[in-house]
Amino acid sequence: MQPLYFLAGVTPATLTPGNGQHVRLCRSLLSSRGLADVFADVAEGEYSSFELPGRGPCDRVGTILAYNTPAGQAPRRLGYWPEEQQWTQVGDDLWIGIDPAGPPTPEELRRKRQFDWWQAVLGDGAKYSIPVIRRPDGSTGLPTELYVHPLTGRLEEPIKARYRRYWDESAEVADWFFNGGFDGETSSFTKARALALAVDALSINYRYGPLEQSVLRLVDSENYLTVLSATVDVQGVVAAGQQKKSGDAADLSTLPGPQGV
């Protein structure tokens, strides 16, 4: 089941302000609680909420919020049952609840739009799709604009603004993998930074961010390099090198990719 979010002190009137004819979520409220990106692709009517008649986590009153899956499925249970749920405080006024007997699956975390390329097995043992953000040749697996420059006559393909931040940050990852950044003693590319970028990459395809990582911990010491390498197409570079050397198609079953991690 998808995560439940308990917003302490929030009522339905503040969560969905209006005259009763609108059911849009208050984006400024979500932003103040650190949920703007996770709910960015959740439109009108694509969420479920429940005002607790009593007190919830940490003996606070408020509202439980959850997004519906892209398939339109609401959470199986929307409420507060502390004996059957695991609630974690992730902010001053925010808790995330999961059902330990049925934790979120990739399908329940996925966004409406997916950019599939490589796959990585994450901490829950399930496979997640990781997009190629930046290839060594400067191309990307994310959406780009297309136009012919009026002065040069060249075709230009700048990455769309929605994904510019990921593109800019991926330069660090590419430098680390392709320019000797594996020297842990001298590299400024710390494990904390690597984790942040891996979670960021996961957030492109899934409703997942630092708050969710603190609860679900899908990215761990065994897979964070796999996630990061996929974002800069290390697997593709290795496969191309194998194929060029042998003259045969590369065996991707040994690489972190679509056929296995």
Q: What's the total number of domains in the chain?
A: 2
* Domain finish residue from 103, 122, 139: 103
Indicate if 120 and 18 belong to the same structural domain.
Answer: no
pLDDT for 224 beyond 90? yes
169 contacts: CB under 8 Å, gap ≥ 6: 197, 200
Q: How many H-runs (helices) and E-runs (strands) does the chain carry?
A: 8, 9
Confidence (pTM): 0.87
What is the pLDDT at residue 108? 97
Q: What is the pLDDT of residue 16?
A: 86
pLDDT attached to residue 12: 86
**Per-residue pLDDT, 240:** 74
Examine the domain organization and report whether 131 and 250 are in the same domain: yes
Domain that holds residue 8: 4-103
- 58-104 residue pLDDT tens: 888 999 999 999 999 999 989 999 999 999 999 999 999 999 999 99
Please say if the pLDDT value at position 223 is more than 80: yes
d(CA 255, CA 235): 6
196 belongs to a structural domain: yes
Residue 37 has pLDDT above 60, yes or no: yes
The answer to whether the beta carbons of residues 142 and 204 sit under 8 Å apart is yes
